[in-house]
Amino acid sequence: MPSLRLGSIAPNFQAETTLGSIDFHQWLDNSWAILFSHPDDFTPVCTTELGEVSKLAPEFQKRNVKVIGLSANDINSHDKWIKDINELSKTTLKFPIIGDKDRKVATEYDMLDALDPTNVDAKGIPFTVRTVFVIDPKRVIRLKIEYPASTGRHFTEILRVIDSLQIGDKYRVTTPVNWQKGEKVIIHPSVQGEEVAKLFPEHEVVKPYLRFAPYPGEA
């Protein structure tokens, strides 16, 4: 199966989660989504990540982003793990976590750690790598990041990317290095001629290929 790339349609699947059964495409329901995977329950780095994502729930909600986790264990194990997560992070985790003990979803999303023969369960089935997918309301994959097991994910950076994608879709702009929401943006190369002044009356031409404009939305 070929690797999923940016621009691919996120595969649909049916799965059991800590909040009940879902059909993934129906669950998306015109929202943005983050799907992020974990190799195993009760792992130290992932425990801190899930707690942080839970605490960031209001930020995701403001951006119309649904969050769903995945771990290579069953739902009963997830439920026990969530108690630890809530205790350690002083939070109440409310988003679903997929039970993927048989790795069906991980296989569909090309998340199995096939290159490390030691990263397997008792049955010899590879665990998932720690992947983040950002999926838009059209079910298109817009971001894919894979992290090493040793490094916790930076979810405020993922929020920053979502801000960039959403404002880019709405206003035909891109964002420069280290950009933060509210800062100036770059006019997309497809905007040319009279459209430039019409859409961005206060723009600044630094080079013919680099044109800045004030942030067009609400910061």
DSSP characters for the chain?
Answer: -PPP-TTPBPPP-EEEETTEEEEHHHHHTT-EEEEEEESSTT-HHHHHHHHHHHHTHHHHHHTTEEEEEEESS-HHHHHHHHHHHHHHHT----S-EEE-TT-HHHHHTT-B-TT-TTSB-TTSPBPBPEEEEEE-TTSBEEEEEEE-TTS---HHHHHHHHHHHHHHHHHSEE--TT--TTS-EEE-TT--THHHHHH-TT-EEEETTEEEE---S--
Separation between Cα atoms, residue 83 and residue 97, nearest integer Å: 13
Question: Please, which residues bridge with residue 7 across strands?
Answer: none
Closest listed residue to residue 165, CA positions, set 3, 24, 34: 34
Residue 87 to residues 94, 113, 153, Cα–Cα distance (Å): 14, 30, 20
User: Catalytic amino acids?
Assistant: 46
